[in-house]
């Protein structure tokens, strides 16, 4: 595990230095020093996991897109760096909840990008976020972890370049037919940050009272409220950071 952490940190630092990407970190004092942590961030670039890893200066086990677990060599690379591909949509993310809960019980960081692939494929503006999927909220409320926090993080780009990855979207659709965003012509775009601000939000600590409410008719409202809190926190941080 220590080797994975060192490898990911080293790769992240070397890559950012090699392309001359400048990263500035704000509100790092909000990062919890103990307990399991679900890191929730906006997601517009392949660089996002690298930036977050450098910003927290420790290993984050990222949940990544399902197709990454289907492509030979890419699968070995992402798992070797400690990431774990999401399940096919038909499996209702059973493996994700199992793996993530185990990591949180070991007081590790689990990284989640609840916007999915939409902002990357559509190249949304840097100051906007897409609708959040609610999986991270369900994970937080169902995980039997006494000391658990959700840490909102905004990756605010102030200078970037849009390039073509030369990877056909149709090729990715071959590996993951369940992703409608891949079922279109053209190349997969790639955003390269020249300058970015990593803004840490106020952590949300999951209390026993929250888990007690996670039943019956109150469960859906609780999940929606938690998702809205994290989404709004990141949206506010983007306003502050996209300058």
Residues forming beta bridges with residue 187, ordered by sequence position: 168
> Quick one: pLDDT at residue 1?
47
Residue 176: pLDDT band (50, 70, 90) is: low
Higher pLDDT, 118 or 88: 118
The angle subtended at Cα 77 by Cα 76 and Cα 79, nearest 5°, is 65
pLDDT in tens, 133-160: 999 999 999 999 999 999 999 999 999 9
Each residue's pLDDT tens digit, 76-90: 666 666 677 666 655
Q: Which pLDDT band holds residue 34 (cuts at 50, 70, 90)?
A: very high
Residue range 161-172: mean pLDDT, rounded:
75
> What is the C-alpha to C-alpha distance for residues 228 and 232, in angstroms, rounded to an integer?
6
Residue with tokens 């609780």: 222
From the list 132, 110, 166, 158, the residue with the least C-alpha distance to 43 is: 132
CB 72 within 8 A of CB 28: no
Do 54 and 39 meet the contact criterion of CB atoms below 8 Å apart? no
Domain ranges of the chain: 1-162+195-242
Q: Which fold has domain 1-162+195-242?
A: Glycerol-3-phosphate (1)-acyltransferase (3.40.1130)
Higher pLDDT, 167 or 102: 102
pLDDT digits (tens, 9 = 90+) for 181-227: 667 777 778 899 999 999 999 999 999 999 999 988 889 999 999 99
Nearest to 67 by CA among 94, 44, 86, 90: 86
3-state secondary structure the chain: CHHHHHHHHHHHHHHHHHCCCEEEEECHHHCCCCCEEEEEECCCCCCHHHHHHHHHCCCEEEEECHHHHCCCCHHHHHHHCCCEECCCHHHCCHHHHHHHHHHHHCCCEEEECCCCCHHHHHCCCCCCCCCCCCHHHHHHHHCCCCCEEEEEEEEEEEEEEEEEEEEEHHHHHHHCCCCHHHCCCCEEEEEEEEEEEEEECCCEECCHHHHHHCCHHHHHHHHHHHHHHHHHHHHHHHHHHCC
Highest mean pLDDT among 56-70, 117-131, 154-168, 187-201: 187-201
SS (H, E, C) 132-194: CCCHHHHHHHHCCCCCEEEEEEEEEEEEEEEEEEEEEHHHHHHHCCCCHHHCCCCEEEEEEEE
């Amino acid at each position: 595990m220590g080797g994975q952490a060192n490898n990911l940190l080293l790769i992240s630092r070397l890559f950012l230095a090699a392309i001359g990407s400048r990263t500035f970190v704000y509100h790092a004092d909000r990062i919890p020093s103990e307990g399991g942590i679900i890191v929730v961030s906006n997601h517009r670039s392949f660089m996002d996991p690298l930036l977050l890893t450098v910003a927290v200066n420790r290993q984050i086990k990222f949940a990544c897109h399902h197709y990454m677990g289907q492509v030979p060599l890419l699968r070995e690379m992402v798992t070797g760096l400690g990431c774990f591909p999401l399940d096919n949509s038909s499996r209702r993310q059973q493996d994700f909840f199992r793996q993530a809960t185990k990591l949180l019980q070991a007081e590790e960081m689990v990284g989640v990008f609840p916007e999915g692939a939409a902002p990357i494929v559509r190249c949304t503006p840097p100051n906007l976020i897409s609708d959040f999927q609610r999986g991270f909220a369900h994970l937080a409320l169902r995980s039997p972890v006494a000391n658990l926090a959700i840490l909102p993080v905004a990756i605010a780009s102030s200078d970037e370049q849009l390039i073509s990855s030369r990877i056909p979207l149709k090729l990715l659709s071959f590996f993951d037919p369940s992703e409608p965003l891949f079922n279109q012509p053209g190349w997969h775009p790639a955003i390269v940050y020249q300058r970015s601000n990593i803004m840490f939000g106020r952590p949300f600590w999951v209390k026993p009272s929250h888990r007690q409410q996670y039943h019956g008719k109150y469960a859906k409202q609780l999940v929606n409220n938690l998702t809205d809190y994290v989404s709004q926190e990141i949206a506010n941080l983007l306003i502050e950071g996209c300058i």
